[in-house]
Structure 1
Amino acid sequence: MHWLHVHFHSETLGMPVQMEVLLPESPILTDKDYPVLYLLHDMGDGHTSWLRKTNIETHIEELSMAVVMPMGHLGYYTDMFSGKKYFSFITEELPAICERMFPLSEERIIAGNGIGGYGALKAGLLAFDKFKKAASFSAPIDIDSISRRLTQDQSLDIFGLNDDLKGTEHDLYAVEVLSSRTQFYLSCDVDDYRKDNRLFAEYLQRSGLSCSIREIQQFPDKWKNLDRSLSEFIIWLSEKKGVK
């Protein structure tokens, strides 16, 4: 696959940003538009982490699919109360820019690990007209557990003055309109957010949405777990129609 390192200016964020892009190898002149996976990183990682620490290129190459790995900084993939609009960036500006730059179809998939998984699920729920599939790997689901990762100042910048975030726009359970247009996939280690992921999968299924959940054996190394999760997700994608 072709690996591109891309710098561009984001009008939404008001600053230069970076992303890594994998494109299927093909003749330079082609009328083929590729499905695309937007792959988000956890807080504390970066846009190169998936390429450096997993076998993403090997896993994806047989699907004839592009992969876009943007820098998410520490924005929690949220339109911050006092800061940048990261949710608008990943759901609106980023797909538009990528589709101008590269031969991409509207078959968009979004996934991520940790907080990147939270951002992907949020995108699948709220931007269901943009993403046909949304997946999370070992993602925190409960908004209280997510906010506990933050210092008081960080929480104020990202989520605002709310002492209780349940029921707010940041709570995955509080989305008012649920659409069956997006298919969901949740993966977690047997000891990592298992209960939260099970409960959320059951909630989506009860609400009439398509949701698959996988629990994988836990290895001591975080990235070995994630590579296994990613591999199983790619297998799941290959079983679905419209990605080859």
Structure 2
Amino acid sequence: MALLHVNYFSNVLGMCMNMDVILPQQTKGQIGMEGAVNSTSYPTLYLLHGMSDDHTIWQRRTSIERYVSDMGIAVVMPTVHLGWYTDMVHGRKYWTFISEELPAICRSFFPNLSDKREETFAAGLSMGGYGALKLGLRAGDTFGAVASLSGAVDIATFFDSYTNDSLFFDIFGSKERATGSDDDLFALADKLARSGKPLPKLYMWCGTEDPLYADNAKLRDSLRTLGYDLTYEESAGNHSWTYWDEKIQTVLRWLPLGK
């Protein structure tokens, strides 16, 4: 594998940004692992961080480079700050950045990245789980399969939990404005299901001791009612890397590669 640290400028955000990128490389003689390149066009996983983190976190808390070494896929790990993968009411357009600009930038920098919907994926934890599901439900022309680990899937919950925190008001405006909007995963899922457009493959996991468990179970039930191709798993666990390190490996096995 090749690991690249990329500093670049975002026209949408008007600032310099960072991302780490893992690219397939055919290798021999590496101690404990071998790299593989399965085609000239690489399926790509956009791997998203949570609220307290940045583009480095998946490498610092997991062995993601080792996990994908023989899969022949690229992994893009961007920084999205505390933007909640959303065009903020008072702030930057992080949704436009993550859903439109970033894939275009990555494909221009790395022409071997696949531009096929069925070979473009997203996954994330907590806030990043929200972002990944949002990419599948709102940018389905680009992302064919998405996965959420302990996702912060119900933004109404966060307005109720952070009533004295201006962050969510700067991002979403108000609970009333956000509910039912294109930033509401429940509303997005219903809207897409009724549109007749192709539905993404979805994966969700949440620990039963996680404070976000009830929200994840609620979204699970809604997605099943709407007829989504959802793989849902739960097990004992809380909101911690002990479980996300294990479950990202499950996500990698779940990805519809070569199908």
1:147-158 to 2 correspondence within 5 Å? 147=159, 148-149=161-162, 151-158=164-171
Query: Residue 192 of structure 2: which of 177, 183, 190 is its match?
Result: 177
**Normalising by the residue count of structure 1, what TM-score does the alignment of the two structures yield?**
0.90
Tell me which residue corresponds to 1:72: 80
Question: In structure 1, the residue corresponding to 2:89 is in which secondary structure?
Answer: coil
Range 195-204 or range 75-84, more displaced: 195-204
**Normalising by the residue count of structure 2, what TM-score does the alignment of the two structures yield?**
0.85
Tell me which residue corresponds to 1:14: 14
Aligned residues between the structures: 238
Tell me which residue corresponds to 1:122: 134
Query: Residue 222 of structure 2: which of 203, 217, 222 is its match?
Result: 203
Tell me which residue corresponds to 2:3: 3
Question: In structure 2, the residue corresponding to 1:177 is in which secondary structure?
Answer: helix
1:86 deviates by 0.5
**Native 8 Å contact 1:76 1:119 kept in 2:** yes
What code does the residue aligned with 1:104 have? L
Distance 1:226 1:8 in 2: 28
Q: Does 1:97 align with 2:109?
A: no
What code does the residue aligned with 2:14 have? G
Distance 1:55 1:9 in 2: 28
Matched residues, percent identical? 40
**Native 8 Å contact 1:115 1:139 kept in 2:** yes
**Native 8 Å contact 1:54 1:224 kept in 2:** no
Query: Residue 240 of structure 2: which of 206, 222, 244 is its match?
Result: 222
In structure 2, runs of 5+ residues without a counterpart are 28-37
1:214 deviates by 1.2
**Native 8 Å contact 2:39 2:72 kept in 1:** no
Question: In structure 1, the residue corresponding to 2:203 is in which secondary structure?
Answer: strand
Instruction: Tell me how large the CA RMSD over aligned residues is.
Output: 2.0
Tell me which residue corresponds to 1:135: 147
- Render the CA deviation track for 1:181-239: whole Å, top value 9, x for unaligned: 310000111221233222212211221211101113327x82121101101111212xx
Query: Residue 51 of structure 1: which of 56, 59, 82 is its match?
Result: 59
**Native 8 Å contact 1:216 1:229 kept in 2:** no
